[in-house]
Amino acid sequence: MLKITFMGAGSTVFAKNVLGDTLVCDALRECEIALYDIDKNRLSESEVVIRAINKKYNADRAVIKTYLGVENRKAALRGAKFVINAIQVGLYDPCTIIDFEIPKKYGLRQTIADTLGIGGIFRGLRTIHVLKGFAADMEEVCPDAWFLNYTNPMAMLTGAMQRYTGIKTVGLCHSVQVCASDLLRGLGMPTDHLRYKIAGINHQAWLLELEQNGVDIYPEVRKRAFARKDIHPDMVRYEIFRRFGYYVTESTQHTAEYTPYFIKRAYPGLAEQYGVKTEMYRDWGNSQQEYWSHARKMENEPLTHTRTKEFASYILEAMTTGTPFEIAANVLNHGYIENLPQGCCVEVPCVVDAAGITPRRMGRLPEQCAALNRTNINVQELTIEAALTHKREHIYHAAMLDPHTAAELSIPDIIALCDEMIESNAGWIGNYE
């Protein structure tokens, strides 16, 4: 029986989406699902939801098992063919709060703080060593399994797993699937019969080509987008589009903190002008008590599920049946994008089949797009280096090279901020010398 292990099963809604997709797929219905988490209550809540979907949509054909705590981690992983990762080390409280509150003392404002910047750096440091533990267990009890990573910071975590463990790893995100259609929808254009080409890095990939019914519509899209004058949710993305010539995959709120242009103390009205919501993720986190309250009631509510656009179930189906399926995935750059560093983590189209995951070669990005990508890659690579060496200086390097942090703070303030963050995160990242 196919075994699928879900790490971080306390992410109830996400577990519902990904595992629900699996349970409604004909080729995957008779499987064993292992739910793993370190939080008893959240694990049980996810179990309730997954069992309900299994009963309603799958006639209880799947076997559902739960595993609580690090002491049961190997058992959860043993014999798995696929391991889906959705953990959050340190959770919202206290770690996300720390990621926002300490930088704010230095005048550094963030929006999401999970991919780049100070928040992304320390989220990466907290998580990489945990994933190394997963990898060690997997090498012992399921060495041939695929590790499907959904946790941010995507490029840091996926890149570390791919380069420094023996586990077959791929990183998956949500942005590419909806990038082109969302752009067209915002411009009042139809979204059917699209063909597009997207490549770059996670959260900063580029819509390079866009066709509809075999016709290149990118010139018309550029014309309409550049002429748009109304206030809308994608103001930052449109500005990057206007200046760099290509539409970027990730949202305004994310993009604002991956660049040095939009959140600046010297220009206090700039964030509002572009619709940037600083502390957006912090504000979202404050609503999580309501979310968990709702999750606890799911057992008594009518439960529905239709297959989502998340790639996980399609990967499992393609590898199980041999029927090819194309995804966008995060892989090590072995010449797939020629003008990005070799060995960095890139996001490119890939074909999935019984043989595994085969990335497509994309050639060169427009030079200005590659250049912006490289400013982010610097931070990713140095954070990985810091996590592996436990050298404090590499945390400093990552922060000093971060576009937003460097645009706002002096070197002494960056060092002081990092030192305070290291001390506050000591229980999760260990000692850095």
Question: Which DSSP string corresponds to 349-397?
Answer: EEEEETTEEEEPP-BPPPHHHHHHHHHHHHHHHHHHHHHHH--HHHHHH
Alpha carbon dihedral 375, 377, 379, 380, in 10-degree steps, equals 160
Q: What is the pLDDT of residue 279?
A: 84
The one catalytic residue among 174, 232, 334, 394: 174
**Gap between the Cα atoms of 146 and 172, Å rounded:** 12
- Are the CB atoms for 353 and 318 separated by under 8 Å? yes
3-state class percentages of the chain: helix first, strand second, coil last, to nearest 5: 50, 15, 30
Look up residue 399 and give its amino acid: A
d(CA 217, CA 183): 12
**CA 310, CA 316: separation in Å to the nearest integer?**
11
Tokens linked to 219: 């010139």
Which CATH class, in words, describes the domain spanning 94-113+173-278+310-433?
alpha beta
Distance of alpha carbon 412 from alpha carbon 96, whole angstroms:
24
394-398: long-range contacts at Cβ-Cβ below 8 A with a sequence spacing of 24 or more? 395/121, 395/125, 395/422, 395/432, 398/121
Regions of the chain short of the pLDDT cut 70: 282-302
Cross-strand pairs, 215: 212
Residue matched to tokens 């004058």: 229
- What contacts 126, CB < 8 A, 6 or more positions away? 89, 90, 95, 425, 428, 429
Beta strand 31-37 pairing with 82-85: unpaired
- Give residues with Cβ within 8 angstroms of 431, minimum separation 6: 390
The DSSP secondary-structure symbol of 337 reads: B
Q: Which fold has domain 2-93+114-172?
A: Rossmann fold (3.40.50)
Q: DSSP string covering 51-83, please?
A: HHHHHHHHTT-SEEEEEESGGGHHHHHTT-SEE
Exposed, middle or buried: residue 71 (CB in 10 Å: 0-12, 13-18, 19+)? exposed
- Computed over its alpha carbons, how large is the radius of gyration of the chain? 21
Domain edges within the chain? 2-93+114-172, 94-113+173-278+310-433
> Residue 300 has what DSSP assignment?
G
- Let me know if 232 is a catalytic residue: no
Of 167, 166, 165, 174, the closest CA to residue 115 belongs to 174
- The C-alpha angle 90, 91, 95, rounded to 5 degrees, equals 60
How big is the CA angle at 30 (ends 2 and 135), to the nearest 5 degrees? 25
Residue owning tokens 């996810």: 46
| 19: region left, alpha or beta (phi > 0 left; psi from -120 to 50 alpha) | alpha
**In contact, 137 and 106? CB cutoff 8 Å:** no
| Model pLDDT, residue 196 | 97
pLDDT at 284: 63
Residues 101, 399, 275: CA angle, nearest 5 degrees? 60
Residue 424 phi, psi (nearest 5): -70, -25
Distance between CA atoms of 310 and 25, rounded to whole angstroms? 13
Q: What pTM, to 2 d.p., does this model score?
A: 0.95
Report residue 317 as tokens. 């189906």
At residue 280, what is the residue type? M
> Cα 306 to the chain's mean position, in Å?
22
